[in-house]
Amino acid sequence: MKHFISRRVLLVLLAIALIASPLMAQGQKEDESSVTTLRFLQWWATEGRVEESLEGLIAEFEAENPEYEVELVSLPFGETKTQIVTNHAAGTIADVVGLNPPWTREFYDLGILEPLDDYMANDPNFNKSDYFGASMAPINGKTYLAPYNTLSFFLYYNVDMFEAAGLDAPESWDDIIMAAKKLTDINKNKYGFSLSMSESAAGNGSILSLYPLLYAANGRTLVDGRYSVQTDEMVAAMNLLRTMSENGSIMPGTTTKTEPMVYEEFSLGNIGMMISNDGHVATLAQSAPDLNYGIMPIPTIDGSGKAELRHHGWDMGMPAKGKNKDGAWKFISFLHQKDNMERAGLEMMKNPSMYGIDAPEGASEKIVEVKGYFEEYAMVEELMEMPSASACWTELTKAGMQIVDGSKTVDEALAECQKAWDRILGQ
């Protein structure tokens, strides 16, 4: 009997503990409820130095705004885009998201983004005219991106390989063809040029190589209100790739290699030239500090006139289904304060999207050089406003693949791509 009673007592105590623990937790929760967690989903912090910089800025934001704490959610670039869409559908989207300009129109069409105009207008610290215009282009009259870091696509060239071959930096596309041929030595696994035309990557071939070439030639895809690939400049860009491919100057594997693989080969000194964004200045500083390379705007077709740069950005946006929009804007606004942008630019080795910020003291020579190009050259961003952009650029990548591997002529491949664009865009 004694034993039975002790079991009963034990059960009662257990029941009390079970009932009391959620109540105690509730009390604890009430104490903590004054702190709101803001989730910031982005791909930026997958780069070590950027993560450190963001964590420092977040700590300062939390100290200034004790009512908020920021959770940094970092995913690979392609995965970030997928997660934003799925989280939007599931209603679990973060409060602030990192955005890449080509995603904007697609996210707008899916109703993912909140217009930022009112937040910007009501914030005394935020002035639209302080920022490079490329990311601020409105969609149906409204702004959806807060520009943070600006990047562009450039021609990277291996200075040691160029000097060994007695070559100067290319000034026209003929120079690129000639240099690529001269730098290629298959037996030593050295190639003049490399690019990615893989369909498997989130950001694939055409946006990495073809669009930068198109804009260098002052071309556009939106011509007279219609998206077109059958333009003289696009034909010239494809012919450039075709000629280098026929000369054997492009490293094999174009149709399977992803951007990181091309970058890896360049950092190993196996490639004479590649087209990539200036974000790789920071990664090369870490992974290949001894690589002697140059970075320059892609020349125009014949070397005359002024090339334009394909804009690329690390921007920020606010989801329409976000639960803490005021807090989210407070955080965006904090990161956009001039001193914070200056500091982040130096720590992240990126150029902030703000006018009037000089390349910071201590910044690498390449960052200073790139900053100069941003001021000198116009930046173009068409994909930001293009509906179904990723489906369209994937079709352009397919055209590029067929041209590089010689299975279709430039005219045939572009005609097929145009047909696909017309179908996708309903134009």
Note whether 280 binds another protein by CB under 8 A: no
For 373-397, b/e burial (b = at least 16 CB within 10 A) is bbeebebbbbbbbbbbbbebbbbbb
Q: What is the DSSP string of 73-95?
A: EE--HHHHHHHHHHHHHHT---S
Least separation in angstroms between residue 102's CB and another protein is: 12
| Under 8 Å between Cβ of 55 and 74 | no
State which residue, 142 or 423, has the beta carbon closest to another protein. Answer: 423
Least separation in angstroms between residue 187's CB and another protein is: 7
State which residue, 364 or 394, has the beta carbon closest to another protein. Answer: 394
Note whether 391 binds another protein by CB under 8 A: yes
Note whether 417 binds another protein by CB under 8 A: no
Can you tell me which of 402, 410, 414, 418 binds another protein, judged by CB under 8 A?
A: 402
State which residue, 140 or 187, has the beta carbon closest to another protein. Answer: 187
Options 54-62, 221-229, 378-386, 394-402: segment touching another protein (CB under 8 A) = 394-402
Per-residue mark of binding to another protein, 71-110 (x: CB under 8 A): ----------xx--x--xx----------------x--xx
Least separation in angstroms between residue 99's CB and another protein is: 15
Can you tell me which of 65, 239, 243, 388 binds another protein, judged by CB under 8 A?
A: 388
| Selection from 132, 137, 125, 133 nearest residue 354 by Cα | 132
Amino acid symbol at 94: A
Per-residue mark of binding to another protein, 348-387 (x: CB under 8 A): ----------------------------------------
Q: What is the spatial distance between Cα 334 and Cα 196, in angstroms, rounded to a whole number?
A: 37
Spell out the residues 6+ positions from residue 121 whose beta carbon is closer than 8 angstroms to its own: none
Note whether 394 binds another protein by CB under 8 A: yes
What is the helix (H) or strand (E) element at residue 205, kind and residue range?
A: helix 205-205
Amino acid symbol at 201: A
Helices 365-376 and 280-287 cross at an angle (nearest 10°) of: 170
State which residue, 242 or 350, has the beta carbon closest to another protein. Answer: 242
Based on C-alpha coordinates, what's the Rg of the chain? 25
Can you tell me which of 22, 48, 138, 252 binds another protein, judged by CB under 8 A?
A: 252
Note whether 405 binds another protein by CB under 8 A: yes
| Selection from 148, 140, 28, 142 nearest residue 387 by Cα | 140
Can you tell me which of 401, 403, 410, 417 binds another protein, judged by CB under 8 A?
A: 401
Binders of another protein in range 165-224 (CB under 8 A): 186-187, 189, 198-201
| Selection from 39, 25, 150, 141 nearest residue 87 by Cα | 39
Note whether 274 binds another protein by CB under 8 A: no
Q: What is the DSSP string of 352-398?
A: ESBTT-PPPTT--HHHHHHHHHHHHS-EE--GGG-TTHHHHHHHHHH
Number of residues that bind another protein (CB under 8 A): 35
Q: What is the spatial distance between Cα 306 and Cα 298, in angstroms, rounded to a whole number?
A: 10
Can you tell me which of 48, 76, 111, 138 binds another protein, judged by CB under 8 A?
A: 111
| Selection from 333, 392, 289 nearest residue 127 by Cα | 333
Note whether 406 binds another protein by CB under 8 A: no
Can you tell me which of 39, 190, 242, 257 binds another protein, judged by CB under 8 A?
A: 257
Per-residue mark of binding to another protein, 286-305 (x: CB under 8 A): --------------------
Can you tell me which of 255, 267, 300, 351 binds another protein, judged by CB under 8 A?
A: 255
Can you tell me which of 261, 285, 288, 296 binds another protein, judged by CB under 8 A?
A: 261
Return phi, psi of residue 378, to 5°: -80, 145
| Under 8 Å between Cβ of 291 and 265 | no
Residues that bind another protein (CB under 8 A): 81-82, 85, 88-89, 106, 109-111, 186-187, 189, 198-201, 251-257, 261, 388, 390-391, 394, 398, 401-402, 405, 420, 423-424
